Structure 1
C-alpha cells in the first residue's frame, strides 16, 4: 500500500532554511514540456544552437524529439515580433502574413527615403493619400446605404430621435427644478407675511352672544368637539354635584287649585265688591 499524502509537515524549532545546501544545476539546463508545433515546417538538416537574447529577454529554443529518423528541428521564440522562428533543421511552409508584413515595412522605408530627398514626392504622396481616403469614404457610404436598404433602418432618424429624447428629458428636469424653487420661495414668503401679521395685530376672538337664547337640553345636543375638554385628574376625581347642569332638565309639577276654595274666593270677592254680607240685609242692615 502507498503512503498517505502528508499535508502538514513538522519543522523543528531550530530549523534554518539558509543552512540547506543549494543544488548545483547547469546554467543552460533543459525542461521537459508538452508543446504543439507553432507552425508547419519541413526538415532540412542539423545545426548547432546558439544562446541568444533580445533586450534582456532570453530566447528559448525547443528541441522536439526525432520522429521516424528525421533530425531535430527546434523552433525558437521571437520576442521582437511576438512569434516563433525556425532556428535550424527546418523551414516554415506557410508564412504569408509574415511576408506581407515584411513587404509593407520595405515599401514604407522606401517611401520615407524618397520623401527625404525629393520635396515634390511629398506632395504627390499626399495627393495620393487624400484620393485614397476619399475613395475609402465613398465605399463606406455605399456600404452604409446598402445596409440601410437591406435592414430598413434609418440610422439618421434614430440619432435624431435620441437627441430629441435627451432634449425633452433635460427640459423636464429644468421645469421641475424651477417649480420646486418657486414653491420654496412662495412658502418662505407666506411664512414671513404670517409672522409680520401676527406681530402687528392680534386676531380678534369670537365673543359669545348674550342675546342668544339657550335651552337646558342644548347640553345634550352639543357636539363632542364643542364640549369642554376634561382633564385626566378631573375624570379620575369627578365633580361633587351635577345639579347645576341637570337642573333645567327637571320640570316641576304644577299644583291644581281646589274648586271649592276657588268658589269661596269668588263669592268673597263679589261680596266685598257689592258691600253686602250674607247675614246682613241689603245696605248692610241686620235682617234678624
Structure 2
C-alpha cells in the first residue's frame, strides 16, 4: 500500500518523451463539470425560477471563434430542475459576467441597470474629453470641487461628533427637562393671553365696560358684581331684611 503514496516516479535512463504516442481528441470536445448557477433565471418552457447558487452537472465546451482580448469564451449546457428542458449560457469576460444564450431568461436585477448607467456616463465623458481639453479641465475642476464639499461635510460631522462626545447622559436629561419646562411655561403664558383677549372681547349692550377678570389673589368678600350695579351679596342682605320686617 505504500507504493501508491510515492510522489517521485522512476524514469529509466533510455526514456524518450518524444516516443510517447499522443492522443487524438476532437477539437471541441464537451466535458462534464459540476458548477453552481451564477445568476437567477426563469425557464422558458415551464416557467420555473432557478435561483443563483443552484448546483448542477453541466456540459462545457469552447465557443469556437469567440474570444475577448485573447480570452476564450466557454458555453455551458444544463437542464431545468423541473421539466429537464435544456438551457445554455456562456461566459462574458468583457463585463466579468455570464449571459443567457437560450432556453431561459435572466431575472431583472436593478443593480445591473445602475452599473450600466454608470458605465454609459463614463464612456460618454471619455468620448467628450477625447478631443476637447477645456471640457476635460472643467470636468476635473468639478470633480475637485465635489471632493472638497465631501471633505468639508465630513469635517463638520467629525467636529459635531467631538462636541457631543463630552456631553453625559445626566447633562442631556437636564437640558431636555429644562427645555420642556420652558415650553410648558410659554404655553401657559399664551393661554393666559388668549383668556384675557376673550374676556376683553365680551361687552354689554348698553355699556362700553368689559368684564373684569377674577384674579387668583382676590379676597372672597370682594364685590364680584358688574360696575354700576348692586352686587349679589347686597341683594341677598336686602332680601333677608325685608323678610324680617314682614315677620314683625
More helix by share: 1
Q: TM-score range by the shorter chain?
A: 0.3 to 0.5
Pick the structure with greater CA Rg.
Answer: 1
More strand by share: 2
TM-score, length of structure 2 as denominator length: 0.46
